[in-house]
Structure 1
Amino acid sequence: MKKLIILVAIAAIFLAAHYFGIDSYLTLDGLKQGVNQLQTLNATQPWLVVAIFSAIYIVLTAVSFPGAAVMTLGAGALFGVVGGTIVVSFASTIGATLAFLASRYLLRDYVESKFGSRLKAFNTGIEKEGAFYLFTLRLAPVVPFFVINLLMGLTAIKTRTYYWVSQLGMLAGTAVYVNAGTQLAKISSLKGILSPGLLISFTLLGLFPLIAKKALNLIAKRKVYARWKKPARFDQNLIVIGAGAAGLVTAYIAAAVKAKVTLIEAHKMGGDCLNYGCVPSKALIKSAKLAHQMRHADRYGLNAATPALSFKAVMQRVHKVIADIAPHDSIERYTGLGVNVVQGYAKLIDPWTVHIKHNDGRESTMTARSVVIAAGAQPFVPPLPGLQDVGYVTSDTLWDEFVKRNEPPKRLVVLGGGPIGCELAQSFARLGSTVTQVEMADRIMIREDVEVSDLAMKSLHADGVNVLVGHKALRCELRDGRKFLIMEHTGQQIELEFDDLLCAVGRSARLTGYGLEALGIDTHRVVQTNDYLETLYPNIFAAGDVAGPYQFTHVAAHQAWYAAVNALFGQFKKFKVDYSVIPWTTFIDPEVARVGLNEADAKSQGVPFEVTRYGIDDLDRAITDSDAHGFVKVLTVPGKDKILGATIVGTHAGDLLAEFVLAMRHGLGLNKILGTIHTYPTLAEANKYAAGEWKRAHAPARVLALLSKYHNWRLG
């Protein structure tokens, strides 16, 4: 109702302006007549004329009524250059701010609901540099000011900022028109006021802030580098520290474009993913799943059997898998690609120089025009009292520790209810361990929707994992050779005896030992970078887990492209990292895969959405495989098939998700998925049927009713 009243008021002002002939005074001829009439009154009662003139100017500007340029001329004729500039400066700014507020109140909610996801990045930019861009627009009167008022009202810029920037930015243009108005009798056309030369001058004036910003950036860069002496020549175009996913891909790209690149790794090529993370864990999960299927072979019409499990053989297979994949990331391969691979510890001693302590004991230094830090992350070990006394393993150390054993851990405690904890808890339970998983939050896999967490917990319970949520680990105790974990739950202390403890409460970036502190690079939780992956020093970049915000191998590889290209070609063109479509999968059974928003994310961000759901228990291929459990859930823009996010729970969910990742990345909706032929019978049909569920929910009821009548008529 309030919005309606405002709209009616604006319409009434327009009608009144026409009815009382105000618009006739907003032409050049009408202005000349009106000024002659007001000059007599202005001579006797100047403050009254100023008040009336200002009020009319404010109202007409507030409702975006055309004629502001003519009234600005009138101010010059009535009040002179100084007085007219002051009157118009305040009246125009107040009116513009009112128009800005009206646009914000009347239109912003509607625009946000329709285009919120598209405007998110724009609004983020406005929050950071909105004043700068507004000032640039105000200086150059090529863009109509009323358009600026309406469009800026849709952004998140603060009203106070909008006011003072507008007043300052419009001052130059105001002065030109006011000055012209002092010679009103000689003006025959508004076009003559802004000559081509004056327009070019204003345009250059509008470009001045952009040029100034570039200049300030250059000055800031020089200031950052002021205490360092830049080498006259460089040994390398690029030095990459760390040979995990981010480092390997960065070095690969650099070599591919014929840059001189050195890759430095102190430990194992391939980093965490190959040696401790993705590869060994998935190998273990496969063995554990096969053992599970053997126990439940009756589901497939076979005799169920207890597998004759050799834990040592399982762990040896894990290491064989690592060894089989290792050549993909080996020194020999990357040397063959043109990368200079150095084994040793790297430390920055200035923005261009790296000190290397080689694994063979030698020491050397090397310079490069750019450096990429890709040091990865390591398991976070909580500061639990007594933890060192009882001993523990992490997702990094368990592979070398457990390969020595003939039997799996008898009683295993897994600290952490995230993806790593869930995957390993289920796997060891399937391999014969008695597993207790301890999570401080009220549910496991806290980043997923509640129904996903519930389904994951049921699956873990079915495999014998005792999942304790809402339990906070307090300390560990060693009593007569027996190990205990002391926990708090609902205000009471509970003790749990165990044989082995696995810490899986998250991973932290490797930040120390690389000389970052001495260079003044911010390392709060991760290496702090801008949108281009630049650190405090524009020639030093960070990528992968060490930079965040996602700790996924595929994101590290994704960032590596930006790090390599910006490091090598940033002087010509820099690219902002695109995190708009990031998929991930938790490889429990059934798998949990997601891309984009889930319901919890959408609600917390205030993004309107519709939910379409398809149960995999209805899918033919899932039924034939006795894997008929899980679902596909898709979030879309209300009333449209535009995909905001998708969650799949089921067998091979990580593989099925790729279709939604592709669709979101390239702006394809559910109608396109529905119109794509999917092989029958495959699990991928679940995506098509989910799209079909959306189509069924949005069927045109009126058209179908008319078609029903038409077909009945055709029956005769």
Structure 2
Amino acid sequence: MSEEINYDICIIGAGSAGLSIAAGAAQMGARTVLVEAGRMGGDCLNTGCVPSKSLLAAAKAAKAMRGARRFGVEAGEPHVDFAAVIAHVHDVIASIAPHDSVERFVELGCTVIQSRARFINERTIEAGGKTLRARRFVVATGSRAAIPAIPGLDEAPYFTNETIFDNTVLPDHLLVIGAGPIGCEMAQAHRRLGARVTLLDIGPMLPKDDTEAADVVREAFVAEGIDISEKVEITRIEKRHDGVAVVLRRDADEQRIEGSHLLIAAGREPNVENLGLDAAGVRCSAAGVEVDARLRTTNKHIFAAGDVTGGLQFTHMANYHAGIIIRNALFRLPAKNKPEAFPWVTYTDPELAQVGLTEAKAKDRHGDSVRILRAEFKDNDRARAERETQGFLKAVTTKRGLVLGATIVGHNAGELIAPWTLAISQGLKIGALANIIMPYPTLSEISKRSAGSYYTPTLFSPRTQRLVRFLRIFG
């Protein structure tokens, strides 16, 4: 029998959620152990947010060269050294890795065990040949790419987000199955770097976003030469000597699309296997670990955070979960998971950002009592100067001006969503944004313009005009 070691808190998984909890707990004086079987930093650092945004940055540079002529600057078609692009991606990962490293967390006061963990009872795990007990546990094992049950796929080569950033050869024709955020970002990045790209999905493109905003992204993709096939049935995958073929059916017609490479971006599934969760009394399913509003599992001594809970799968959601768990696990405060003001961004070009309710969801919940406020990028002077006039901002409020949600599709939408997130989180009314002074010329003026439109019907109404005429009497 191995020696039993006791801790205040044991975190399983060193991705975004696990690292945030471990760092906070250790610095607050808790005896903390962090267990990770794979790479420190998890999906976000190694195969998700960091490499994807690094690849998109390279693709954006290529696009800027092609479009420089519109500013009177001659550049032309760029020469893309794809191996060098991937080297850039890994250089960015390496520059961030020390922040997530074993060495840093040991310095913070954590015990780090690089091994698989498995519960052997409700209060104990085995990891790295050690038996660990803790007052509180956190399951933060993340998620992985879901592989759809398509006939022939198991015999064909394909990438997921976990492998595509190791590919150093530019695909001649990349087939992407899945038109969600990952699929869309990778499709556009590879297209801009010189590949032919076909984007396929059994449903619509960006299905969780405002449909009008998704239309703007779709139009941009078509303009850049990305072939899009939505709402199609993918019947089988065929391995070819020089690549792959996807056979699909739309209505009664069958179509065969041949490509050099295949990327599967058809969603995520939680990592819940081989953890011994049954032995710990933790209930889970294919959707993830079951948690209550305080992120406690069915064993109240065990919490779960991040992608493994099966909710919104974003790094900033994992970090948000970390704060809730620290308050509950260390301070016994009844902090609850209330992500009503949760923003997300798809980093296509144009970007698509959302917080709170979309127009459709607001109308489903509140009926016709909502107000829709709009402003267009084409009416923003900074957007005109930079020739980035695609898109719009759409805000949703109650009739009394309470902000319910905002959708932004356009240049730097991810940066522009912040004030709307603040408004929803603090229960602010639209006047808070309408009265703010924005610097000129900035894209942020689009928020003020849309907010100000709430007052337009009143300010320029016949009643206001009569009032102005009446006040003339008094000089």
TM interval, shorter chain, is over 0.9
Distance 1:457 1:550 in 2: 23
For 2:186, the equivalent position in structure 1 comes to 424
Residue 58 of structure 2 aligns with an amino acid whose one-letter code is S
1:537 aligns with 2:303: no
Residue 684 of structure 1 corresponds to which residue in structure 2? 444
Where relative contact order (Cα < 8 A, 6+ residues apart) is larger, the structure is 2
Q: Which one-letter code corresponds to 1:398 in the other structure? A: I
Q: Distance in 1 between matches of 2:50 and 2:243?
A: 33
Unmatched runs of 5 consecutive residues or more in structure 2: none
Do the aligned partners of 1:387 and 1:475 also contact (CA within 8 Å) in 2? yes
The answer for the alignment partner of 1:660 in structure 2 is 420
Residues 397 and 337 of structure 1: CA distance in aligned 2, closer, same or farther (over 3 Å): same
| Native 8 Å contact 1:234 1:369 kept in 2 | no
Q: Is the 8 A contact 1:448 1:600 kept in 2?
A: no
- Please give the secondary structure, in 1, of the residue aligned with 2:234: strand
Q: Distance in 2 between matches of 1:697 and 1:704?
A: 10
Using the alignment, how far apart are the partners of 1:463 and 1:701 within structure 2? 44
Task: Pick one of 290, 294, 298 that aligns with 1:528.
Answer: 290
Q: For 2:457 and 2:425, how far apart are their aligned partners in 1?
A: 24
Provide the C-alpha distance between the structure 1 equivalents of 2:420 and 2:315, rounded to a whole number of angstroms: 19
CA distance in 2, matches of 1:482, 1:317: 26
Amino acid in structure 2 at the alignment position of 1:284: L
Q: 2:164 aligns with which of 380, 389, 398?
A: 398
Question: Would you tell me which structure has more strand in proportion to its own residues?
Answer: 2
**Equivalent in the alignment of 1:161:** none
TM-score with structure 2 setting the length: 0.96
CA distance in 2, matches of 1:461, 1:578: 38
Is 2:122–2:279's contact at 8 Å kept on the other side of the alignment? no
Give the one of 68, 75, 88 matched to 1:297.
Answer: 68
Residue 8 of structure 2 corresponds to which residue in structure 1? 237
TM-superposed deviation, 1:564: 2.1
What secondary structure, in the 3-state scheme, does the structure 2 residue paired with 1:367 have?
A: strand
Match of 1:263 among 34, 45, 55: 34
Kept in 2: contact 1:411–1:498 (CA 8 A):
yes
- Residue 495 of structure 1 pairs with residue 256 of structure 2: yes
Q: 2:98 aligns with which of 310, 327, 337?
A: 327
Q: Which of residues 408, 416, 432 is equivalent to 1:672? A: 432
Distance of 1:428 and 1:620 partners within structure 2: 31
| Partner of residue 199, structure 1 | none
- The residue aligned with 1:577 is 337
Partner of 1:623: 384
Q: Which amino acid aligns with 1:356?
A: A
Over aligned residue pairs, what C-alpha RMSD do you find? 1.6
Is the CA contact 1:596–1:644 (under 8 Å) kept in the aligned structure 2? yes
What residue in structure 1 maps to residue 219 of structure 2?
458
Percent identity reads 38
Instruction: Report 1:41-120 matches (<5 A).
Output: none
Q: Matches of 1:482 and 1:683 in 2, distance apart?
A: 44
State the 1:586 CA deviation: 0.3
Alignment of 1:268-417 (within 5 A): 268-357=39-128, 363-400=129-166, 402-403=167-168, 405=169, 408-417=170-179
Whole-Å Cα distance in 1 between the matches of residues 15 and 263 of structure 2? 23
Q: In structure 2, the residue corresponding to 1:683 is in which secondary structure?
A: coil
1:234 Cα deviation after fit: 6.4
Give the secondary-structure state (helix, strand or coil) at the position aligned to 1:470.
coil
540, 550, 554: which one pairs with 2:312?
Answer: 550
1:522 counterpart letter in structure 2: R
Q: What TM-score comes out, normalization by structure 1 length?
A: 0.64
Shift in Å, 1:602: 1.8
1:340 Cα deviation after fit = 1.4
- CA–CA distance in structure 1, aligned partners of residues 362 and 430 of structure 2: 19
Partner in structure 2 of residue 614 of structure 1: 375
Q: Distance in 1 between matches of 2:102 and 2:96?
A: 13
The residue that corresponds to 1:80 in the other structure is: none
| Rounded Cα–Cα distance in structure 2 between residues aligned with 1:548 and 1:382 | 17
SS of the equivalent of 1:694 reads coil
Q: Distance between the aligned counterparts of 1:612 and 1:576, measured in 2?
A: 31
Contact 2:210 2:407 in 1 (8 A): no
Runs of 4 or more off by more than 6 Å in structure 1?
none
SS of the counterpart of 2:112? Answer: strand
The alpha-carbon deviation at position 481 of structure 1 amounts to: 5.0
Report the 3-state secondary structure (helix = DSSP H, G, I; strand = E; otherwise coil) of the residue aligned with 2:213: helix
The answer for unaligned runs of 5 or more in structure 1 is: 1-232, 358-362
* Higher share of residues assigned helix: 1
Greater C-alpha radius of gyration: 1
Amino acid in structure 2 at the alignment position of 1:239 = C
Q: Which residue of 2 aligns with 1:74?
A: none
Aligned residues: 470
- Counterpart of 1:568 in structure 2 is 330
CA contact (8 A) 1:240 1:262 kept: yes
Q: Which residue of 2 aligns with 1:6?
A: none
In structure 2, the residue matched to 1:603 is 363
Task: Return closer, same or farther for 1:620/1:263 CA change in 2, 3 Å cut-off.
Answer: same
